[in-house]
Structure 1
Amino acid sequence: MFVGVQRLVLQIPGARSLKDRRQVVRSFKDRVQARLRISVAEIGHLDRPSHAVVAMAVVSNEAAVCDEILAKAAMMASTLGNAVLADRATEIVPFGFAGSGIRGGIEQLRLAEEEMWRDIDEEQDDAR
């Protein structure tokens, strides 16, 4: 499994107030969520009318799918008529079985569970 995350910095030159900025960001978030079915949140520059930072996340069984979806979201941002895509940072992380765990938490549990089932199977084989 792969987790893809992306941070976009938008410049909104026409926004004179926070209300103007929120309207642009809300429209972009709604469009991305509806078309791409990914999680989107505004995460920074909440008090600046001229800038917004938006983050998004996607989960897939293939890294290429995560990359493709996040690239589509960035393309949608770059074609906004009322905002300019100023910066983009993307990271795709392998997670879980056949990938590294994020800080080891869930992966550690999975390894312990696999070991438990292996012990149970060995006990059943010995009993036969």
Structure 2
Amino acid sequence: GLPMTPPGNIGNSDREARRVLKSITTRVGNKFNVSIAEVDDQSLWQSAVLGICCVSNNSRYTNEVLSRVVDFIVNSRFEVEILDYEIEILPV
């Protein structure tokens, strides 16, 4: 998963946090053709964990896409801070 937290300037609002999260999931899903969903901490507006999935028969391509997703979130104007991330490739 991709645990993240909004910085202090996002406000103390579940609605605002959900708006930012929805923006991230929509833009990432559309731009990179990946599946993305909130997978943990759904009851907390102060944090979220996103799961991102890319299916391919080429592990290098999959790793590249997932790395680009993380870079996109970090370098975009989303109001979040990524706390940690892990890329796991599952062979089929």
TM-score, normalising length from structure 2?
Answer: 0.89
Provide the identity percentage.
25
Contact 1:9 1:87 in 2 (8 A): yes
Equivalent residue number for residue 25 of structure 2: 29
How do 1:1-128 and structure 2 match up within 5 A? 7-13=1-7, 14-81=10-77, 82-95=79-92
> C-alpha distance in 2, partners of 1:12/1:80?
14
Higher relative contact order (CA 8 A, sep 6+): 2
Which structure has more strand as a fraction of its residues? 1
Compute the displacement of 1:91 (Å).
0.3
Larger mean CA deviation between 62-71 and 45-54 belongs to 45-54
Q: SS at 2:86's partner residue?
A: strand
What count of residue pairs does the alignment treat as equivalent? Answer: 89
Q: Which runs of 5+ in 2 are unaligned?
A: none
* Residues 1:79 and 1:44: Cα distance change in structure 2 (over 3 Å): same
State which structure, 1 or 2, has the greater radius of gyration over its C-alpha atoms.
Answer: 1
TM-score, normalising length from structure 1?
Answer: 0.66
> C-alpha distance in 1, partners of 2:37/2:70?
14
